[in-house]
């Protein structure tokens, strides 16, 4: 089992409840933090506006699912304009970044805290 190291304090993360995965900004790779270190980092006013919510939270997962449903609904509408295709392309790319971040977080950070029983292996 690989040992996760907090990006802020440099100490190991030993429990899944301590783990918070977040990005510095929307297009960066997710990093692992202790929950306490993440909260301390969010107290800075600059970090409040530049940092994204935790990727391994339930709210983030629900937001991705709702955005995917809206995107699929918009994709089903038959409008044939360049602006419509441009909007679909940009929003699809941003949605792809969100899905990539969530999957990357699960594979790189959260997977090692799951037991074999939870993973159904």
Helix/strand/coil (H/E/C) assignment for every residue in 33-49: EEHHHHHHHHCCHHHHH
Q: Is the pLDDT of residue 100 over 90?
A: yes
Two tokens, residue 82: 């360049």
Whole-prediction pTM value?
0.76
Could you tell me what percent of the chain has a pLDDT over 90?
A: 10
Name the residue with higher pLDDT: 117 or 48: 48
User: Distance between CA atoms of 102 and 53, rounded to whole angstroms?
Assistant: 12
């Amino acid at each position: 089992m690989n040992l996760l190291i907090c990006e802020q304090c440099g100490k190991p993360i030993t429990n899944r409840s301590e783990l918070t995965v977040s990005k510095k900004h929307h297009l960066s790779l997710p990093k692992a933090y202790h929950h306490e270190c993440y909260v301390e980092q969010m107290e800075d006013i600059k970090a409040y506006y530049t940092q994204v919510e935790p990727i391994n939270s339930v709210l983030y997962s629900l937001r991705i699912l709702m955005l995917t449903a809206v995107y699929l609904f918009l994709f089903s509408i038959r409008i044939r304009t360049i602006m419509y295709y441009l909007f679909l392309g940009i929003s699809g790319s941003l949605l792809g970044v969100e899905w990539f971040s969530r999957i990357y977080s699960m594979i790189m950070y959260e997977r090692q805290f799951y037991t074999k029983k939870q993973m159904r292996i």
